[in-house]
Chains A and B, each alone.
Chain A
Amino acid sequence: AQTVTQSQPEMSVQEAETVTLSCTYDTSESNYYLFWYKQPPSRQMILVIRQEAYKQQNATENRFSVNFQKAAKSFSLKISDSQLGDTAMYFCAFNYGGATNKLIFGTGTLLAVQP
């Protein structure tokens, strides 16, 4: 069975600083997909960034980048130049495709950006 672990329940960062959120996963699949979702208080889940396991290059989306270590089954999210609007729950998620394409989520990290 696939599992996703986020070991940091809460994180805090000063505005304009950089923060890294950790995520590890467990799977026997060779190809799969990893995602970071943001969930603000409005509850709307928003895709932040995604990574295909067969791609060695780490994904980047503006201020957001990932450090994907396939052998270590690690997928961390780096947020640069943190902004107050980044305050939210962040969920790491895994998807190996199969017949369903369902997402398997971690328990989340609550990020607070301090002014």
Chain B
Amino acid sequence: NAGVTQTPKFRILKIGQSMTLQCTQDMNHNYMYWYRQDPGMGLKLIYYSVGAGITDKGEVPNGYNVSRSTTEDFPLRLELAAPSQTSVYFCASSGQATEAFFGQGTRLTVV
């Protein structure tokens, strides 16, 4: 039972590079989320999706893009990496009005 799977676990990017953080879930959840977590700052919502083909901005969407072509996958795209995007990124999914299940996180460093 895989749950929510994020790849990669770690990545170092140079300023201006781009990358995609992958997230997939096998629980047939409609809701999926991307959060970033910075030391002492809690979780901040970047983007979320309420179903395939539907995405919306969260609290801190600048510098990121998402897509949701299938129920299972919710990739997060960084187009022009900046040092301010150094963070730990968590993907999560939930059913209707139920708890969220989290991936193990991606630790991203932009240098």
A and B are interacting partners? no
Listed in ascending order, the chain B residues whose CB lies under 8 Å from chain A are none
